[in-house]
Amino acid sequence: MKYLNLLLIALLYPLSSHAYSHLSPYSYCGGNPVNCVDPTGKDIVVLNYTKGMHMAMLIQNEEGKWQYYSVNGNNLYFSGSHFGGRPFNDVAVGSWDSPQEFFNSSYNVRNNDSKKDKSMNHFGFSEGYQISTTPEQDETMRNSFSKIAKTEYNLFNNNCATAVQKAMVEAGIPVSQPTMVPSYIPMATPFGIVDVFNGYKMKCDIQMRPSSAFQSIIKFNPSGKLLPENRPLNY
């Protein structure tokens, strides 16, 4: 069957190229396939700030543009210093053609005035980990992260790192050693509402600390790549 398919392709290709000679195979990307964003793969980036002080992510939208997602936490007073995130979360912010464009953008900046400035992300990320996903996984993560960002911040189980990990797990992307557990959905029956088996769902342990979470995500997604490329992993 494999060889039959190859033979059919070989026979039909000359016909198709003559019938549509005015079209190029690269017309969909303006004649420059190198700069075209492939919406079917490598379309999330887990962002890591200064060896695990903060974690956020880039997710591609339906148009293939990269958008920024971050749960920023609460301002905290600890050991004589005032520190923490911003008074708001960043959800589906921006529209970049590539992760590198995000890294180089005027939005990816941290300075003394950026904490409350929505035109900057207040972190200035210089490192991330890029992982292949599907458009369906992207949609799941966008929806999941948006819901998580609306819930109350908690340093231990609802912080910047846990938000990223929970969104990834919801989309079936491991963040630690995965296990499969039964999934149930409520269903109305003549006997009332009952939980009905709905297959199996992936479960992972969620790391509280961004530094540990980032290392674990890299470990369990070995086909990803560190950004910028050829950057050494110093942990």
pLDDT in tens, 175-217: 999 999 888 889 998 888 988 888 888 999 999 999 999 999 9
pLDDT digits (tens, 9 = 90+) for 137-182: 999 999 999 999 999 888 888 899 999 999 999 999 999 999 998 8
Split into its structural domains, the chain has a count of: 2
On whether both 20 and 126 belong to a single domain, the answer is: no
What pLDDT does 6 receive? Answer: 40
Query: To the nearest whole number, what is the mean pLDDT of the chain?
Result: 81
Would residue 183 count as lying in a domain? no
What pLDDT does 152 receive? Answer: 87
Q: What are phi and psi of 101, to 5 degrees?
A: -65, -40
What pLDDT does 15 receive? Answer: 40
Q: Which two tokens stand for residue 187?
A: 């269903």
On whether both 105 and 122 belong to a single domain, the answer is: yes
On whether both 22 and 115 belong to a single domain, the answer is: no
Percent of the chain with pLDDT over 70: 74
Angle (nearest 5°) at CA 156 between 109 and 94: 30
On whether both 20 and 44 belong to a single domain, the answer is: no
On whether both 17 and 98 belong to a single domain, the answer is: no
On whether both 113 and 24 belong to a single domain, the answer is: no
On whether both 12 and 26 belong to a single domain, the answer is: yes
Give the residue from 70, 82, 161 showing the smallest Cα distance to 124.
70
Domain that holds residue 102: 40-173+205-227
On whether both 129 and 223 belong to a single domain, the answer is: yes
Would residue 116 count as lying in a domain? yes
The answer, yes or no, to whether residue 45 has pLDDT greater than 80, is: yes
On whether both 109 and 211 belong to a single domain, the answer is: yes
Would residue 191 count as lying in a domain? no
Give residues with Cβ within 8 angstroms of 44, minimum separation 6.
Answer: 57, 58, 59, 60, 130, 131, 133, 137, 138, 141, 168, 173
Give CA–CA dist 33/145, Å, rounded: 31
